[in-house]
Amino acid sequence: MLEMYKKVVMENYANFNGRARRREYWMFFLLNVIIGYGLLFGLGFISPKLTIVSTIYSLAVLIPGIAVAIRRMHDIGKSGWYILIPIYNIVLLATEGEKGSNQYGADPKNGLEELDEIGKE
């Protein structure tokens, strides 16, 4: 789970091109919520003035969050602008990506599928 978070934040900080698997998006989302609310409530009990740390964290992960959401839309063959449609984008974020390459790049699961095919015939 932490590996997916590091991949989004460190390696693909502002990468809006390519595709992101469901797992990459949802692991980032889950850890982002845990860290964000952990900072907000944990530091808020110590001192209300420390909640600024939560705000700084939220601003720091804003760009990677948008980038991974756009890459997730690319994985299902949609434009990144679909993240602006309120309810429909949640359905799309949970939809399985297109198999094989599409106009946005190679299938991120492709390497895993090739491993499953070893020994079959």
Residue 26 within a domain? yes
Residue 41 within a domain? yes
pLDDT tens digit string along 36-93?
888 888 887 888 788 888 889 889 999 999 999 999 999 999 999 999 998 998 999 9
Residue 121 within a domain? no
What residues make up the domain containing 18? 2-116
Compute how many other C-beta atoms are within 10 angstroms of the C-beta atom of residue 20. 26
Residue 37 within a domain? yes
Residue 25 within a domain? yes
Q: Following CA atoms 12, 14, 15, 21 in sequence, which dihedral angle do they give, to the nearest 10 degrees?
A: 60
Q: What's the domain count of the chain?
A: 1
Residue 110 within a domain? yes
Residue 33 within a domain? yes
